[in-house]
Amino acid sequence: MKNNKSEPIPVMDYRQYRRVRRLVHECCNYIDGNCIALDDGEECVCVQSISYSLLCRWFRAAVLPQDKELETALFTPGSNRAKYCPECAARMKRINAAKSKDIRQVLTELYEVFDFCAVEEAAHYYENWQS
């Protein structure tokens, strides 16, 4: 979990934010809502406790690893183009595989019945049959 300049800052949804808020209290720099690491004589509010983004490098490195599930959710690249949740995706994959198998079986049976080796051969036969 290096902090590269090119790496985007993760933005959390509300549930993730609430989990981070609970974790912030475990940080050794967090005292009464303030961050002692940012304290330069004046109290400074803990940035991580008020933000929906993961801004604090100390929090990322020292505190977030305590919640592996949250850390994985925030730093695992993913796509927002998923059609189904993980459970439904597995079910749909099985259904589509079965459909594909059924189609292949039907094609195999057609090839056996009509004794065609390929679709091109069937097309050629059909064209010649009409003439």
Q: Give per-residue pLDDT as tens, 98-114.
A: 888 888 887 777 777 76
Burial of 109 (0-12, 13-18, 19+ CB in 10 A): exposed
- Sorted by where each begins, the domain ranges of the chain are 14-75, 86-130
Does residue 31 come out as left (phi exceeding 0), alpha (psi in the -120 to 50 range) or beta?
beta
Nearest of 41, 48, 42 to residue 26 by alpha carbon: 48
CA–CA gap between residue 23 and residue 19 (Å, rounded):
6
Contacts of residue 88, Cβ cutoff 8 Å, sequence gap at least 6:
none
What the block records as the tokens of 54 is 């993961």
Tens digit of each residue's pLDDT (9 = 90 or more) over 32-73: 999 999 988 889 999 999 999 999 999 999 999 999 899 888
Give which of 104, 72, 66, 83 is closest to 1, Cα–Cα. 72
